[in-house]
Amino acid sequence: MLDERKLAVLRAIVEDYVHTEEPVGSKALVDRHNLGVSSATVRNDMAALEEEGYIAQPHTSAGRIPTDKGYRLFVDRLTTIKPMTVAERRAISAFLEGAVDLDDVVHRTVRLLAQLTRQVAVVQYPTLSRSAVRHVELVTLSPTRLLLVLITSTGRVEQRVVDLGTNVGDDLLGDIRARLNAAVSGRQLSEVQSLVVDLPTSFEATDRSVVAMIISSFLETVVERTEGRIAVSGTANLIPFGQEFHTSLRPVLEALEEQVVLLRLIGEATGPSGFTVRIGHENPYVELSTASVVATGYGPGDEAVANLGVVGPTRMDYPGTMGAVRAVARYVSQILAGE
């Protein structure tokens, strides 16, 4: 474990390298930072940091740059995450509050996150399995067809056309709607099957086949799709960092086109208050071994229903990026909670 002085030197190297894009020398550290020690002491500390693998010399006679191990220790020992300014918070709130539905929320969020961080932003749509039923609506399309609309606690809307093959009166339809909502409103989608499977038996025998068809369509609607849905924005933000990826930017961009890759990258966030930060070779894909991922969960209340985050080079402003990701996640969570 590094002592506090060497940790301060490492922190200064990371901050300077992120800001200047240039390898950092001992003289620059002494000039820019109040380390309270001589250049000779800083050189000794840098030598020790290099020997332990926290920094590296990219070429002879150059200063030092952080390694993945150095960035990891820097992130793990962060004492504060850069907060958003009052103006930034107001801008985030105003931009997101203008959304009209869940799709609009997700697309506004991913664009905003890309603009704030100047990285590639990824936002996962809320998954059905983590949502609760807010309301079920049955809308008559014709005497024998209706539209079943499921609205979840996260604002997600699912629709399904039900062809009943027989006329259904308004009174019966209203009764089905009322009993179905009484049974499932506020309940997790993962538990609704057991709540409605016997519902047809509570109706008159002549109506049970119609009720059974509606319940069957409802259960098909709440079944989780195998594929997750995501939105991506800001891939062009990586172009200025192209030289920082060891081979070329193309493999990185190709990896980011794969939905399963993105879902795995952001899919292990620990919840609305926690972060997943993967640095360089910690990523599960070799194409992203020179990239970093910062992700967190979002959702109404304390439970995350989906994740969002950013992908960028390892030379990333981690405190600022984590602050932006956290702030956006909080605002989206508040919107989904109806606050």
Q: Assess contact for 161 and 147: CB atoms under 8 A.
A: yes
21 and 60 housed in the same domain: yes
109 and 165 housed in the same domain: no
180 and 238 housed in the same domain: no
151 and 35 housed in the same domain: no
Specify the DSSP element, H or E, that contains 102.
Answer: helix 102-117
Mean predicted lDDT score pLDDT of the chain: 86
Per-residue pLDDT of the chain in tens (339 residues, 90 and over written 9): 678 888 989 999 999 999 988 899 888 888 888 888 888 888 898 899 999 999 998 877 778 999 999 999 999 988 778 888 888 888 888 888 888 778 888 999 999 999 999 999 999 988 766 778 989 999 999 888 999 999 888 777 888 899 988 888 889 999 999 999 999 998 888 888 889 989 999 999 999 999 999 999 998 888 755 456 889 999 888 887 767 665 567 778 888 888 778 888 887 655 445 678 999 999 888 888 888 999 998 887 777 788 999 999 999 999 999 999 999 999 998 888 765
Of 176, 193, 222, the position where a domain reaches its end is 222
Residue 81 lies in a domain: no
68 and 213 housed in the same domain: no
Q: Virtual CA dihedral for 196, 201, 207, 213, nearest 10 degrees?
A: 40
Q: What is the pLDDT of residues 5-43, one digit of tens each?
A: 889 899 999 999 999 888 998 888 888 888 888 888 888
138 and 208 housed in the same domain: yes
Provide the 8-state DSSP code for 151: E
Of 63, 82, 52, 60, give the one whose Cα is nearest residue 12: 63
Parallel/antiparallel/unpaired status of strands 65-66 and 276-279: unpaired
**3-class secondary-structure state, position 253:** helix
pTM, two decimals, is 0.77
Q: What is the pLDDT of residues 251-298, one digit of tens each?
A: 788 888 887 788 888 876 554 456 789 999 998 888 888 889 999 988
Q: Assess contact for 322 and 275: CB atoms under 8 A.
A: yes
Q: Virtual CA dihedral for 125, 87, 314, 24, nearest 10 degrees?
A: 180
User: Half-sphere exposure of 306 toward its Cβ, with a 13 Å CA cutoff?
Assistant: 27
168 and 232 housed in the same domain: no
* Token pair belonging to 264: 């795995």
105 and 242 housed in the same domain: yes
Domain that holds residue 43: 4-76
Residue 99 lies in a domain: yes
* Token pair belonging to 157: 């809307």
Of 192, 222, 252, the position where a domain reaches its end is 222
Q: Give the distance from CA 142 to its chain's centroid.
A: 41
Domain count, the chain: 3
Cα-based angle 111, 115, 119 (whole degrees, multiple of 5): 95
Measured between alpha carbons, how far is 151 from 134 in angstroms, rounded to an integer? 5
Residue 149 lies in a domain: yes
Q: Assess contact for 292 and 311: CB atoms under 8 A.
A: yes
Measured between alpha carbons, how far is 291 from 235 in angstroms, rounded to an integer? 13
